[in-house]
Amino acid sequence: MGDRSAVMLLLHRTVVPGLRQAYRLKSAPSRLCIRACSTNDSFQPQCSSHAISGDNSSTRGWRVMGTLLGLGAVLAYHDHRCRAAEESPRLYTREEVRSHSSPETGIWVTLGSEVFDVTEFVDLHPGGPSKLMLAAGGPLEPFWALYAVHNQSHVREILAQYKIGELSPDDKAASILKTSDPYADDPIRHPALKVNSQRPFNAEPPPELLTENYITPNPIFFTRNHLPVPNLDPDTYRLHVVGPPGGQSLCLSLDDLYQFPKHEITVTLQCAGNRRSEMTRFKEVRGLEWSAGAISTARWAGARLCDVLAQAGHQLSETEAHVCFEGLDSDPTGTAYGASIPLARAMDPEAEVLLAYEMNGQPLPRDHGFPVRVVVPGVVGARHVKWLGKVSVEPEESYSHWQRRDYKGFSPCVDWDTVDFDSAPSIQELPVQSAITQPKDGETIESGEVTVKGYAWSGGGRAVVRVDVSLDGGLTWQVAELDGEEQHARKAWAWRLWQLQAPVPAGKKELNIVCKAVDDSYNVQPDTVAPIWNLRGVLSNAWHRVHVHVAP
């Protein structure tokens, strides 16, 4: 009995810890541990149905105990190797992670200090491969911040299976050094944004994220800056509103603005150069190469401009007048960004022009005008002046370069040798627009059924009443289903998202998908770029086209 007691004690000391480790591995698998601990040994432990008791079963009992001892030894050794692997994970630099950003190199991502090889998981990603690929070679945090559903224990358990190591503690994240560079203090941006220029910063969200939500998340809202981003102190911020002759000017703090009735509206902002790249493919233009993402939608809140102007003593004028805005962003010479809108629009309560201090329920991000910007529903983004510092009413429109010498449309026959900017009006309301965001151009789709998604919007508060979609380049058409908030006549300030599910024509190896929108004035997009081409590449609203391949 003494020998058997000793054996039982040994069993307890070896098998139980091993079984505990096996259970731990089953409940929270670790790819790093499995790689470090896997062996070529395999065994199938046999469970005896006989009790280990009685003289006649002693031999079988000793065999069972021997098997368990062997199992315990293997599991204990496995536990030892896993602990060693966990104590000394492989270290990688951020540069090594960045170099793994394609199927050819392998797709790595980071979360905190951990490194994961998710190459095998990309095609399994519930949101589709393209969304996970946005984080390839970089951190997951910015994307998990957009989609909080990821930050759950079962998602982290799935991710843990792909862990291959950790970031080297010696490889610190790059810090922004204070230099004489006027852009050195610009804010950090979301890595999903497609950057069109760094200085000044201009970027758009990728199409697969653009219409993921009706309201565009702040971090991926398209960014159009003309100058360095100012870093303003909300406590010392003041907005100067020039009063009429004989009246009294206002000097408003943020707290002063909060005293005006708070007004909230959902508004789509679109850059005049949205979809400029399509004009460039037809004939060279000057300007940033925007794709179809220089447009976004937010819920804005602030004081109505008409209330603030009335407080300063302004009234509608029988003669032409303009409200001029001046930003607190400026170039090294002190020249600030400026723009203007007609006084009639500014004073109309139904036009709902805002001095906005909130965006999607939060203070304005720095890239979007913190602490105060202008929001002019239905009007080109160039008039939505950010970092607002001054408002005045003038007999003529703003003398700013961006009002007088930019953001104007011209005939296709006008070139840079013959252009006369004084001959054309400044862009205010934009024409009807739509674009396809899914599938992407060049993508391969499955046969059977295709889902086409996109957005549609028209300037001036005109509601989108229909979106037509063609799978054959415009020979035949189908009507898409409109989503989003209900729109009111003359106050349709926000876009409509739309989608169409349609069978892929049998035998087709490729599709030429086209969309066009119609607004409530029955304005419709032109079919080609050629008749609307202009030297600045603005007002690009031809039918949007996407060419895709059909998998055999």
Residues belonging to the active site: 125, 150, 224, 271, 407
Residues paired with residue 167 on neighbouring β-strands, in sequence order: 92
Residue identified by tokens 């349709």 is 492
325 and 381 in contact (C-beta within 8 Å)?
A: no
Helices (H), 261-400: 276-282, 305-311, 343-347
Distance, first Cα to last Cα, the chain: 73
CA distance 250 to 257: 11
473 and 543 in contact (C-beta within 8 Å)?
A: no
DSSP summary character for residue 533? -
Q: Which residues contact 1 (CB under 8 A, 6 or more apart)?
A: none
Q: Which residues contact 435 (CB under 8 A, 6 or more apart)?
A: 207, 275, 292, 454, 455, 515, 544
Q: Which two tokens stand for residue 432?
A: 């009807």
What are the angstrom distances between the C-alpha of 434 and each of 199, 363, 377, 464, 482?
A: 29, 30, 18, 10, 12
Omega of the bond leading into 526 within 30 degrees of 0 (cis): no
For residue 200, report the phi and psi dihedrals to the nearest 5 degrees. Answer: -70, 160
CA distance 370 to 361: 13
Amino acid at 447: S
For residue 334, report the phi and psi dihedrals to the nearest 5 degrees. Answer: 90, 0
12 and 19 in contact (C-beta within 8 Å)?
A: no
CA distance 303 to 295: 23
The helix (run of H) or strand (run of E) holding residue 75 is helix 58-87
Per-residue b or e along 97-120, where b marks 16 or more CB atoms closer than 10 Å to that residue's CB: beebbeeeebbbbbbeebbbbbbe
CA distance 339 to 470: 39
DSSP summary character for residue 289? -
CA distance 212 to 220: 11
How buried is 148 (Cβ within 10 angstroms: 0-12 exposed, 13-18 middle, 19+ buried)?
exposed
- Long-range pairs of 274-279 with CB within 8 A, sequence gap ≥ 24: 274/433, 274/540, 275/433, 275/435, 275/540, 275/541, 275/544, 276/537, 276/538, 276/540, 278/529, 278/540, 278/542, 279/529, 279/533, 279/534, 279/537, 279/540
For residue 251, report the phi and psi dihedrals to the nearest 5 degrees. Answer: -125, 100
